[in-house]
Structure 1
Amino acid sequence: MMPATAASARIMYKNLSRKAPQLPDDIEWHFIGNLQSNKVKPLISGVPNLAMVETVDDEKIANHLDRIVGSIGRKPLRVMVQVNTSGEESKHGVDPAGCVELAKHVTLGCPNLEFSGLMTIGMLDYTSTPENFKMLAKCRSEVCKALEIVEEQCELSMGMSGDFELAIEMGSTNVRIGSTIFGAREYPKKQLN
């Protein structure tokens, strides 16, 4: 998936909300993108087979997801903590130094959420360097130690079409290869005033 700006998050949200009801009920959907607070309730209620939100990057969104999931009485929603391993300002995600605290918050403070792992988004060209993957693996080790869980219980979502093989070699359990399957995305051209 592409790094989510406010505009692309709305597009991803709209696409998921529109496509999910048209497809079989046994599909488990993962939401990837920057999730705004005002989109949480429509997402949760509009996609009943939403299995995971991969991009929880702060306590506010975790708390909001927790409240909405609890209010509709569904099973706990699996979530991943998004970590900004590249340090790019254009990327969402918690700083690596804050991922343990956010994972603890989700685990201990959000009973309607199930912490499932960590994820990162690649560089601007949708690839990541080995350092980005090593950083996420290091974060997983720290989170697992703090939560007293084995690393196999903590997924790593890293790697996209341009770098998934390297990501798998470095421990990824979840890759995002949409453009390999569906082709490159076409973006609308910006109009000049």
Structure 2
Amino acid sequence: MIGAAMEGVAVSALRTVLSRVHRAAERSGRRPEQIRVVAVSKTKPVAVIKQLYDAGHRCFGENYVQEFLEKVPQLPDDIKWHFIGHLQSNKAKSLLTSVPNLDMVETVDNVKIANFLDRAVAGIGRDPLKVLVQVNTSGEESKSGVEPSGCIDLVKHVKFECPNLLFSGLMTIGMLDYTSTPENFRTLANCRAEVCKAFDIPEEQCELSMGMSGDFELAIEKDSTNVRIGSTIFGPREYPKKQ
């Protein structure tokens, strides 16, 4: 009974989030369907993800490869999965082979991981994989991501040296207390402008993945096309207790 109640709460929360996204999109001068909501389901049970799937949602994100691989076989194969965590190069092949419906990796932050993903995609013969280049817009050492000044070089490598990857845009993780959120969003938007100018890409064809539970409406108003929302939909994360 408790599990069913939790699932119902998640569906209700998703609908509220979608309504907020709709209004934020209108404020930004865009259509709601131009904004993708990635429901971040890390640490959450398969039953709750399935409830959101049954309510019509199709895009989910996971942070940890092992947890990801355990969940995927238990869920419908038309889910569009996003990997949004730090990806170790030795996990790239298992991620690609075990998640055939992996739609995007949002966290390509160096040449090494781009090369590993490119080879893994080629090895299994799937369609090119959409990737985002992760940018460290806050300058925090604890955050992954290429420095803004190195963004063009990494995008160039993905576009011209990784034929099995499809460069789709840029991603950032803001500061946890959201104190520099507007500045982070401006930095990523500036990076997009530079990338689009350097490679003659229309800005509407270069995604911005920025905004999470605490700041997704502002992110949309600042041109985000992809928001990653976990706790606002699913509630607090549920990590195993240490023995």
Alpha-carbon offset, residue 188 of structure 1: 5.0
Q: In the alignment, residue 151 of structure 2 is paired with which amino acid?
A: C
Task: Determine if the alignment matches structure 1 residue 132 to structure 2 residue 184.
Answer: yes
Counterpart of 1:54?
106
Alignment of 1:113 with 2:155, yes or no, is no
Partner Cα distance (2:204, 2:103) in 1: 19
After superposing on structure 2, the runs of 4+ consecutive aligned residues of structure 1 that deviate more than 6 Å are none
Distance change >3 Å, CA 94–CA 17, structure 1 → 2: same
Partner of 1:99: 151
The answer to whether the Cα contact below 8 Å between 1:54 and 1:119 also exists between their aligned partners in 2 is yes
SS in 2 for 1:51: strand
Letter in 2 for 1:84: N
Contact 1:127 1:163 in 2 (8 A): no
Tell me which of 46, 51, 74 is aligned to 1:22: 74
Aligned length: 183
Residue pair 1:157, 1:175 contacting (<8 A) in 2 also: yes
Given that 1:128 and 1:159 are in contact with CA atoms closer than 8 Å, whether structure 2 keeps it comes out as no
Alignment partner, residue 4 of structure 1: none
1:53-85: CA deviation from partner (whole Å, max 9, x where unpaired): 000000000011001101110000000000000
Which ranges of structure 2 fall in alignment gaps of 5 or more residues?
1-39, 41-61
Alpha-carbon distance between aligned partners in 2 of 1:11 and 1:171, rounded to the nearest angstrom: 24
Distance in 2 between residues matched to 1:78 and 1:48, nearest whole Å:
13
Secondary structure in structure 2 of the residue aligned to 1:135: helix
CA distance in 1, matches of 2:226, 2:171: 9
Give the superposition deviation at 1:163. Answer: 0.4
Question: Which residue matches 2:84?
Answer: 32
- Superposition TM-score, scaled by structure 1 size: 0.90
Structure 1 position 82 matched with structure 2 position 154:
no
Higher relative contact order (CA 8 A, sep 6+): 2
Q: CA 1:11 to 1:150, structure 2 compared with 1: closer, same or farther past 3 Å?
A: closer
Matches of 2:100 and 2:146, distance apart in 1: 27
Q: CA RMSD in A?
A: 1.7
Please, what TM-score do these two structures have when normalized by structure 2? 0.72
Q: How far apart, in 2, do the equivalents of 1:110 and 1:72 lie?
A: 15
Q: Give the aligned residue type for 2:235.
A: G
Runs of at least 5 residues in structure 1 that lack an aligned partner in the other structure: 2-9
Q: Distance in 2 between matches of 1:11 and 1:152?
A: 27
What residue number does 1:141 align with? 193
Identical amino acids, percent of aligned pairs: 74
